[in-house]
Amino acid sequence: MRHSLPLAPQFYVTAPQPCPYLPGRMERKLFTALQGDQAQRLNDSLSQQGFRRSQNVLYRPSCSDCAACLSARISVADFEPSKSQRRTIRRNAHLERRATSPWATEDQYALFRRYLDHRHADGGMADMDVFEFAAMIEETPIRSRVVEYLDRAQGDLTAVCLTDVLDDGLSMVYSFYEPDLPRQSLGTWMILDHVDIAREAGLPYVYLGYWVPGSPKMGYKANFTGLEIFRGGQWVRKTPRDDYSAEMHPLSTDPIAEQVANISLPDTRG
* Cα–Cα distance, 136 to 56 (Å, whole number): 9
User: Which residue range forms the structural domain that includes residue 161?
Assistant: 73-237
Same domain, 31 and 90: no
- For residue 213, is it within any domain? yes
DSSP 175-201: EEE-TT-GGG-HHHHHHHHHHHHHHHH
- For residue 270, is it within any domain? no
Same domain, 181 and 253: no
- For residue 87, is it within any domain? yes
- For residue 251, is it within any domain? yes
* Cα–Cα distance, 133 to 139 (Å, whole number): 10
Same domain, 52 and 112: no
Same domain, 129 and 209: yes
* Cα–Cα distance, 252 to 231 (Å, whole number): 11
Please, which residues bridge with residue 61 across strands? 29
Same domain, 109 and 143: yes
Same domain, 104 and 41: no
We report the CATH number of the domain holding residue 104 as: 3.40.630.30
Q: What is the mean pLDDT of the chain?
A: 90
Same domain, 61 and 91: no
pLDDT in the model for residue 5: 43
3-class secondary structure, 155: coil
pLDDT in the model for residue 178: 96
Same domain, 110 and 41: no
- β pairing state of 169-177 and 205-211: parallel
User: Per-residue pLDDT tens for 68-89?
Assistant: 899 999 999 999 999 999 999 9
pLDDT in the model for residue 122: 66
Residues of the chain with pLDDT under 70: 1-7, 120-124, 245-252, 268-270
- For residue 146, is it within any domain? yes
Same domain, 55 and 135: no
How many domains does the chain divide into? Answer: 2
Q: What is the DSSP letter of 16?
A: P
pLDDT in the model for residue 86: 97
| pTM higher than the cut 0.85 | yes
User: Per-residue pLDDT tens for 8-63?
Assistant: 789 999 999 998 888 888 999 999 999 888 999 999 999 999 999 999 999 999 98
Same domain, 126 and 220: yes
Same domain, 229 and 248: no
